Structure 1
Amino acid sequence: MFFNRSKDDPLVEGMEQFPTLLMEPWRVNELIEEEAVIQRRRLFRAIAWTRMGVALLALIVFFFYGHLDSVVTVVLLCYIIFIFALMLRGSQHPDGINRYSFLMAIFDLSLLSYFIVINDSKAEIGFLFLSVLLSAMLMPFGRLLIIVTLAALSIAIGSMKSVINQFYWPFSAQNWWDILQTQSHLFLPSENLQAILAMVVGIFVTAVVANRLASWSFRNEVKAQFRYKQVRHVLSFNRSIIEHLKSGVLVLTADAKIISINQRAIELLNLSSTQAIIHLRDLSIDLARRYQHWLSSGIEAPMPYRHNEGAQEVSVSFSGFGQAEQRSVVMMNLESVNESLQQAQEAKLQSLGRLTAGVAHEIRNPLSSISSAAQLLGETAENPQQKKLTNMIVTNVKRTNQIISDILGLFKETQSRRELLSVNETLTQFCQDFSLANSERRFEIYVTGEKDLSLYFMFDAGQFDQVLWNLAQNALKYAGVDNLIITLQYQLAPSRKNIYIDVIDNGKGIPAEKIPHIFEPFYTGGTSGSGLGLYLVRELCSANNANIVFMPFEGDDAFGARFRIVTQTFFSKNTKPKAG
């Protein structure tokens, strides 16, 4: 049960000075109370285990010194079982911990009073002090005064025990009255009275001091644990943010010590993940110089940086936190130069594409008129040269129309309707459709893969069909062989998280100098075509969270082309894909 704590509450006092590092700052009081319950339960268990440990130690001591009898054994074992039961009860019901602590203290005093009466040793007084001390650590002050009073009575009984033992037991009421009248000086002699008063005062002072110190320590422990957990929460949150940034990030102190580095920075700098780096100069002298230059002048070096041969070329920038004259934390940002150029180029292409799409739409009307006029001229022309020229006009008009259709389709805003598709069934169906549509051409197309596994992938069915169609159509156009074989091959990635879908042909392949440009828009390897087919393929794959790459065959006898689509794999159609 949580309580609404006010600002005057000792647990909340001082917390307003603490910066609220919470996702839900309005729950501060409730979270502090939750932490108080956790710490109170922990302290309660520690005190209970201490009591049981002392009782077990007493059993061992009595056994070695020969004072262990059946009565003492049963009493101590019952005590241990009782304390253990209360500890379990308090752990399950933390709102009753104060009540269970009071019951433990009462049972302590009852047990110690029993041993004080039957035993001549003074050791029980020491255990009495220990019991009061343990009770003072968790018990409210009012109940603690009751325990101290009962402890004082136990001490008084222990001091009068030697006098009581001189008489026979049991006594009648008249005998008790006679004894008190005639033997009262034996019960409370002056030296016994002084000793009793000293012990009672000592127990009272010990209990009060221990109670106040424990209360102060408990409040501080709750605050410290609360702050520790919130700081850990914020650090974990910050770390997660840094890890998900697309740029490389190094978090530095003012003296260039590395606090944190994300995975993207490790990839850009081509670092070993097991390499321990403490200072920036241990990583790179050049980066350390750039950092010192930025600290002193505030100017960033414009030249890109490459860490080693396998690393990417990056641009380096700095962002400071804190006052300008005293930077406590600095974030170094690493941006891939190639990716930045690619993003800028894609942005330009998007703008250019929208403009081109608008212009292309306007060009279609006059092209239609030109095509109709050329066809009429071809039908009426008697000169073979004129027929050849009109056919050339019609052919190029059709090509221009195809380019316009590709452009309009490329920049048309359509949302992918992704669904789980069976790999083998989808590829097999495509082979049948493509063979039927190109039945006049001589070629073979078939599917190979791990057909014994039920593999699925997430894709828009229509867009995936368009991707395969473009790739297979390119093989028909540019393979340049008579016995063309198109192979659709699929296999699991080594991690078993992704699936590889390869489109392979046995044609002439793609020249090495053209491979870097094949996915660029308007780039074509021949005199025909719009040059937008592979660009469209890449965009469709990206829209479906997939990736496509060209993988050349290696070796002297290498031939043909191979395009690989990489996407997430699923082993059941009932699997619910993760969002994103």
Structure 2
Amino acid sequence: MTIAQDHIQQRAIMRVYGAYRFALASALFVALMFGPAKSTLGTSAPQLFAGVASAYAIFALSLLLRHYLIKGHYTPTQLFFEFFIDIGAIMFMSYCSGSADSGLPLLLIVSISAASITLPSQLSLAIAALATISALSEVAAHTLYERVGTQQFIVAGITGMAYFSAAIAIRYLSARIVKTQQLAERRRTDIEKLSAINQRIVQRMQTGIIVMSRTGQVKLINDAAQELLDIRPASGDQDQYAPAVLIEMAKNAINDSQIISVGPRRLDLHVNMTNLEAHNHSDCLLYIENISKITQRAQNLKLASLGRFTASIAHEIRNPLSAISHAAQLLAESPNLDDSDTRFAEIIQNHAMRMNDIIKNILELSRGRTPQPERFALGNWLQTFNTDWRPTEHTQYSITVEALGETDIVNVDRSQLSQIISNIADNAVRHGAAKHGRAALIFRYSTLARSGAVILDIIDNGDGIKPEDVDKIFEPFFTTQAQGNGLGLYLCRELCLANQIHIYYRRTADQQSCFRLQFSHPDRGTLPD
């Protein structure tokens, strides 16, 4: 138990005892003034009893106000003085009541008990000793004026034994209670630390965690779940609710595992639900995982198989392809060809180059180099990229870098990020120049308010992707261009998956064509929503 907690407990005990002291003093005074005539109180010296009772009541009231109104630390000397006055006042009133059985000395057991709880052991035993001496002194004082039987000394001795017994017993029980409180405090601290550790673990997990009621009220949710489900944190005292599809799943409770689609981009999420208790009306615990994680693992297996297959046939394909390309080049240089034959030779060369690009991209995919992520500032990296990068086709273009976020720290492979953005920028420059004669690109990065993850928008002035083709652009060999091979964006998506980047196509508020790269959190490494 800390010093502050010990002081609070001590103050609480003295407040209760102060109220008891004032009630006792008031009751004794009222009993003397308005009690029956044959009362044993104040029989020997009623005026002295009344004076002591009134003074004791005033003393009790002043200490009661002090304990309730004045906040300060108690010293052992102050508390010892209070209990000393209690002993003196009660024993004086007992003396004024004669040697009859007034019972007033027994009231000191309460005072001794309070002293045993609030004072150190030596002082609490001193209070018991003073009370015993006072009891014996009272009997001795009565022998000076009247005949007192020897049994009165025996009663006084037994009363003293009761005082010491009460002091020792209460002190022992108080020590046990303090030890129990200290143990409970240590356990509470340990539980709070474990709870904080568990909370940090849950918040840093890549898997989304939600605890919610059957009506959808969210009771616990980590950052990963908020990102995956696009749930905004509750503000103020407002309750937070899960998406409707999860509420319906909790109400039905038919399947404990289900794949759902949520969010404006219809993410595919695997949800595993379980009840926290045995009955079906208890709260639900849901584990949410982005399917792209599973897709990434399957992709790794696919790339491994593709690598073995590609390595075995790439040599056999490239050798004859090189021969065809070289023969077409020599044929085009012949002076005896007419225009139609020259055109045929150009077609052979173009398609040979196209096949060579396809093989090159497939080899790039099949190698499946493990990313080497590192933390860096995306804004500075984009400025360097803007300076060094040049499109594959000689077209006029301009690139603008816009910063809208508070942070731009990402944790990805630099070379693979360069390959991703180069492929997207090549397409953007080609389409923008085809429409306007000059391509205009905007690299705009910002930060998600909920998770702090960075997003990068690559905006161009081209026509963009048709709505019916948006779901197909990342499929292998899908292209809308006669000269395209359909592997550029597919390669971008695979590299994004390897670096835990979410890539998708969208339109900006003013309907500009935009590819968005949403990076994972640089610390948690969670796939973004």
Question: Matches of residues 431-510 of structure 1 in structure 2 within 5 Å?
Answer: 431-434=386-389, 440-441=394-395, 443-447=396-400, 449=402, 456-458=408-410, 460-479=413-432, 480-490=434-444, 492-493=446-447, 495=449, 497=452, 500-510=455-465
Aligned residues of 1:305 and 1:315 also touching (Cα < 8 A): yes
User: What is the match of residue 548 of structure 1?
Assistant: 503
Q: Give 1:112's aligned residue.
A: 84
Match of 2:128 in 1: 151
Instruction: Judge conservation of contact 1:109–1:150 (CA < 8 Å) in 2.
Output: no
Equivalent residues, number: 472
1:515–1:63 CA distance, 2 compared to 1 (3 A) = farther
Of 447, 472, 481, 1:526 maps to 481
Which residue of the partner structure matches residue 156 of structure 2? Answer: 196
Q: Percent identity?
A: 19
| Alpha-carbon distance in 1 for matches of 2:271, 2:375 | 41
Q: Which amino acid aligns with 1:446?
A: I
CA distance in 2, matches of 1:524, 1:439: 18
Q: Which residue of 2 aligns with 1:47?
A: 10
CA-to-aligned-CA distance 1:379-435 (integer Å, 9 cap, x gap)? 458344555444433332322222222233334415335353462x55455444446
Q: Is the 8 A contact 2:431 2:439 kept in 1?
A: no
Which residue is 2:39 aligned to? none
Matched residue SS, 1:394? helix
CA deviation map 1:19-73 (0-9, x unaligned): xxxxxxxxxxxxxxxxxx55x9734652366458868998999999568999xx9
* Change over 3 Å in CA distance of 1:464–1:258 after alignment to 2: closer
Alpha carbons of structure 1 residues 475 and 328: separation in structure 2 relative to 1, 3 Å: closer
- Cα 1:391–1:63 change in 2 (3 A) is farther
Deviation at 1:132, TM superposition (A): 3.2
Q: Map 1:300-449 onto structure 2 (within 5 A).
A: 333=286, 342=295, 346=299, 349-359=302-312, 361-362=314-315, 363-379=317-333, 382-384=336-338, 387-410=342-365, 411-416=367-372, 418-421=374-377, 423=379, 426-434=381-389, 440-441=394-395, 443-447=396-400, 449=402
Q: Give the alignment's Cα RMSD to 1 decimal.
A: 5.8
Q: Which has the higher contact order (CA 8 A, sep 6+)?
A: 2
Provide the rounded CA distance (Å) in 2 between the counterparts of 1:137 and 1:340. 62
Indicate if the aligned counterparts of 2:256 and 2:273 stay in contact, CA closer than 8 A: no
CA positional deviation for 1:289: 4.9
Map Cα deviations across residues 539-563 of structure 1 (whole Å, 9 max, x no partner).
44555555433222467xx4x5222
CA–CA distance in structure 2, aligned partners of residues 210 and 361 of structure 1: 91
Residues 407 and 427 of structure 1: is their aligned pair in 2 closer, same or farther, counting only changes over 3 Å?
same
Q: Which 10-residue stretch deviates more, 345-354 or 110-119?
A: 110-119
Separation in structure 2 between the aligned mates of residue 205 and residue 344 of structure 1, nearest angstrom? 75
On the 8 A contact 2:139/2:156 being kept in 1, the answer is no
State the Cα distance separating 1:108 from its structure 2 match: 1.8
Distance 1:395 1:566 in 2: 36
TM-score, normalised relative to structure 2: 0.64
Q: In structure 2, the residue corresponding to 1:523 is in which secondary structure? A: coil
TM-score scaled by length of structure 1 = 0.60
Query: Would the alpha carbon gap of residues 304 and 546 (structure 1) be closer, same or farther in structure 2, given more than 3 Å must change?
Result: closer
Q: Which runs of 5+ in 1 are unaligned?
A: 1-36, 87-103, 167-182, 292-299, 570-576
Change in 2 beyond 3 A, CA 1:193/1:303: closer
Separation (CA, whole Å) in 2 of partners of 1:464 and 1:127: 85
Letter in 1 for 2:371: Q
The CA distance in 1 between the partners of 2:469 and 2:354, in whole Å, is 23
CA change 1:350–1:202 in 2 (3 A) is same
Q: Distance in 2 between matches of 1:45 and 1:499?
A: 49
Task: Give how far 1:153 is off.
Answer: 4.3
1:564 to 509, 512, 516: 516
Deviations along 1:480-517, one digit per CA (max 9) or x if unpaired, are 31423313243544739455543222222211111122
Question: Residues 133-183 of structure 1: CA distance to partner in whole angstroms, max 9, x if unpaired?
Answer: 24544889xx56x8547623443245426967x9xxxxxxxxxxxxxxxx8
The match for 2:165 among 186, 190, 205 is: 205
The answer to whether structure 1 residue 84 and structure 2 residue 37 are counterparts is no
**Is the Cα contact below 8 Å between 1:269 and 1:308 reproduced in 2?**
yes
The gaps in structure 2 that reach 5 residues or longer are: 26-50, 96-103
Equivalent residue letter for 1:418: E
Give the SS at the match of 1:120: helix
Q: Give the Å deviation of 1:369.
A: 3.8
Partners in 1 of 2:162 and 2:500 — Cα distance? 76
2:83–2:115 CA contact under 8 A, matched in 1: no
